[in-house]
Amino acid sequence: MAYIDPNISDSRPVIRQLDDDAINRIAAGEVIERPAAAVKELVENAIDAGARKITIEIADGGKTLIQVTDDGCGIAADDLRLALSRHATSKIDGSDLLNIQSFGFRGEALPSLGAVGRLTVTSRVRGEDAAEITVNAGMVSQVRPAALGDGTRVSLRDIFHATPARLKFMRTDRAEAQAITDTVKRLMMSEPAIAFTLRDVSGGKDRIVLQVQAEQGDLFSALRGRLGRLMGTDFVENAVPVDAEREGIRLSGFAGLPTYSRGAAVAQFLFVNGRPVKDRLLLGALRGAYADFLSRDRHPAVALFIDIDPTRVDVNVHPAKAEVRFREPAVVRGLMISALRHALAEAGHRASTTVSNAALGAFTAEPAGSHAPGGARVYQMADRRFQRSDPAPVPDALFDAAPSARVDDPFSAIPDHGPLGAARAQVHENYIVSQTADGMILVDAHAAHERLVYEKLKAQMAEHGVKAQALLIPEVISLSDGDIALLMEQAEPLALAGLTIEPFGTGAIAVQTTPALLGEVNAEAMVKDILDELADGGQGTGIQTRIDAVLSRIACHGSVRTGRRMRADEMNALLREMEATPHSGQCNHGRPTYIHLSLTDIEKLFGRS
């Protein structure tokens, strides 16, 4: 059977001008892909109109009703019909498309919505009478009198009823409602001075989904209040403020501590000139900024705002305006990475409070009926061996800090101490128990020292390369030809990191030097770890990123090993060094290095509160 190409015909195709209804339905397919997109367009119109209070009502995930009411400037009765015309807008005059200072500017939203649904626009300009106009699948009614306070109410019923095929691509009511909630939440973040209410009126019920009042105060206090209501108090308590400027571009907002990371990128909110965006450049910069603190399967929580001259960013590159294009992308990326790293460094050894809360949650009460004499509640704790540190000297001490004065019983008195307290014991030859003025600290010595060694290696690398120590007898390691080639490609940066390798015959390399900071180290295990990192990182990442990743692997081999008993002066030296080292609240993989329990928390565990 012969194949017939549908694109080849004997007749000459005729070029036709599409009518306005077809044009609007095509535009609706680009701009209004789902109910959440319709909500976004209508709320942004309300914000552009100068509204101070916006109410959004939806039913059945926005499929049967979307209604947005605002107290903005309104639309004059004489302009209502024009407002429903394609590419009619009050926000630009068309002379400069590179200087957009409003959310909307294309004039497509209202005619697109009217082309695919039943749209009613009711509006009143202050000092004038209210008026109303209706569009049903592209058919526009006459303007008629109506009743409304100052502002505008836009009602969209039965979205896509004129294009029923689109309804087949809609998800469940619950999924569409969640998408609307996420969209509104982002717009709420972008405008803390505006009061918002999102209601779900499905099935004749009236349920408030989100409601926030207008925030007062300066930029940071207003934003902090709004984020606390939308992202939760845990976020604002465990986030650091970000405020930096470079070459006229400002980055502000809040960034979560690495130990407050999430398992998915669900708490990343980025804005450009107040516009919510999901931009690949910004998301890549965000990953780069946290690359030193989080493993690949963890994601930071942030709410960050970029303010830039509108002429230096193009927002007209995507129908939904979700992406932007910067004139100087390298400047924006550099600002974002450096500002975030500086803000996280300012946090010092701080770890998120959620770590301690999770630890408290791990203690579970004994089942009902099991009580100690006198009715006191008994809390079950696993039977763990609690052993005081062996005061005998340990020859391979790994700390540069000067040891504290020795006493007969190193735990008999609490010396002057900082925020992380004074060491009182070591549990299972790894966990340090430290007493503070208002509670206790439990430190993972291996994780903490891993971060300290890593920061020292990075500092040495930045200055003049990591100090190396020559091995008395080079260590020969057998490897595959592919692994040897991968290592030799990175021989120069590895040498700067203190690790010198050379080919040794067929199928082997010889390790000549190792980083001096590590002391005695298993060179073979370290080399194989570095190989894993080089293989995982790939060649798409930058040189500095790969070097930092290698240093992180090296640091792990120079850290206090689990099972090693530490002296009191070593433990206290570790605590003091943690206090003085940025990012020491988490290990190189983003896990916490310590847990803080207040005295009140401890008393609660024993039913004394």
Q: How confident is the model at residue 88 (pLDDT cuts 50, 70, 90)?
A: low
Query: Within this chain, do residues 301 and 360 fall inside the same structural domain, yes or no?
Result: no
| Helix/strand/coil for 47 | helix
Burial category of 608 from C-beta neighbours within 10 Å (exposed 0-12, middle 13-18, buried 19 and up): exposed
| Helix/strand/coil for 581 | coil
Give yes or no for residue 491 having a pLDDT over 70: yes
The torsion of the CA quartet 233, 236, 239, 245, rounded to 10 degrees, works out to 160
Structural domain contains residue 412: no
Q: Which of 143, 102, 111, 104 is nearest to 20 (CA)?
A: 111
In whole angstroms, give the CA distance from residue 170 to residue 288. 35
Single-letter amino acid code for the residue at 98: L
pLDDT at position 296: 75
Provide the domain count of the chain. 3
Looking up residue 122, the CATH number of its domain turns out to be: 3.30.565.10
Query: Within this chain, do residues 446 and 508 fall inside the same structural domain, yes or no?
Result: yes
Query: Within this chain, do residues 537 and 454 fall inside the same structural domain, yes or no?
Result: yes
Q: Which of 191, 212, 233 is the last residue of a domain?
A: 212
In whole angstroms, give the CA distance from residue 136 to residue 151. 22
Query: Within this chain, do residues 229 and 255 fall inside the same structural domain, yes or no?
Result: yes
Give yes or no for residue 251 having a pLDDT over 90: yes
pLDDT at position 206: 93
In whole angstroms, give the CA distance from residue 253 to residue 271. 10
Contact call for residues 452 and 577 (beta carbons, < 8 A):
yes
Q: Which of 597, 338, 336, 350 is nearest to 451 (CA)?
A: 350
Query: Within this chain, do residues 161 and 230 fall inside the same structural domain, yes or no?
Result: no
Contact call for residues 180 and 199 (beta carbons, < 8 A):
no
Query: Within this chain, do residues 242 and 135 fall inside the same structural domain, yes or no?
Result: no
Give yes or no for residue 594 having a pLDDT over 70: yes
In whole angstroms, give the CA distance from residue 445 to residue 564. 10
Give the Å distances, CA to CA, from 247 to 44, 244, 309, 369.
29, 10, 11, 67
The torsion of the CA quartet 508, 542, 555, 455, rounded to 10 degrees, works out to 150
Range of the domain at 250: 219-346
Residue 255's beta-bridge partner residues?
A: 240, 302
pLDDT at position 26: 56
* pTM recorded for the entire structure: 0.71
Tens digit of pLDDT for each residue in 171-206? 899 999 999 999 999 999 999 999 999 999 999 899
Query: Within this chain, do residues 590 and 451 fall inside the same structural domain, yes or no?
Result: yes
Per 3-state DSSP, the chain is made up of helix, strand and coil in percentages (nearest 5) of: 35, 25, 40
Give yes or no for residue 95 having a pLDDT over 70: no
Give yes or no for residue 155 having a pLDDT over 80: yes
Query: Within this chain, do residues 329 and 469 fall inside the same structural domain, yes or no?
Result: no
Query: Within this chain, do residues 294 and 380 fall inside the same structural domain, yes or no?
Result: no
Structural domain contains residue 14: no
Query: Within this chain, do residues 133 and 264 fall inside the same structural domain, yes or no?
Result: no
Structural domain contains residue 399: no
In whole angstroms, give the CA distance from residue 294 to residue 300. 8
Q: Which of 445, 500, 442, 512 is nearest to 476 (CA)?
A: 512
Structural domain contains residue 459: yes
Residue with more model confidence, 48 or 403: 48
Q: Which of 170, 187, 212 is the last residue of a domain?
A: 212
pLDDT at position 521: 84
Contact call for residues 441 and 421 (beta carbons, < 8 A):
yes
Contact call for residues 541 and 513 (beta carbons, < 8 A):
no
Provide, rounded to the nearest whole percent, the portion of the chain with pLDDT above 70.
78
Instruction: Please state the separation of Cα 186 from the chain's center in Å.
Output: 13
pLDDT at position 98: 54
Q: How confident is the model over 273-289, as a mean pLDDT?
A: 90
Looking up residue 266, the CATH number of its domain turns out to be: 3.30.230.10
Residue with more model confidence, 177 or 164: 177
Looking up residue 450, the CATH number of its domain turns out to be: 3.30.1370.100
Q: How confident is the model at residue 72 (pLDDT cuts 50, 70, 90)?
A: very high
Q: How confident is the model at residue 17 (pLDDT cuts 50, 70, 90)?
A: low
Structural domain contains residue 9: no
The number of residues in the chain equals: 609
Q: What is the mean pLDDT of the chain?
A: 80
pLDDT at position 502: 93
Query: Within this chain, do residues 187 and 237 fall inside the same structural domain, yes or no?
Result: no
In whole angstroms, give the CA distance from residue 494 to residue 489. 10
Q: Token match 């090993």: residue?
A: 561
Contact call for residues 550 and 494 (beta carbons, < 8 A):
yes
Contacts of 599 (CB under 8 A, 6+ apart): 438, 439
Tens digit of pLDDT for each residue in 504-563? 988 999 999 998 888 888 888 888 888 887 876 554 455 667 677 788 878 877 666 667
Structural domain contains residue 165: yes
pLDDT at position 317: 66
Phi-psi region of 186 (alpha: psi -120 to 50; beta: other; left: phi over 0): alpha
Q: Which of 298, 321, 346 is the last residue of a domain?
A: 346
Query: Within this chain, do residues 285 and 430 fall inside the same structural domain, yes or no?
Result: no
Structural domain contains residue 390: no
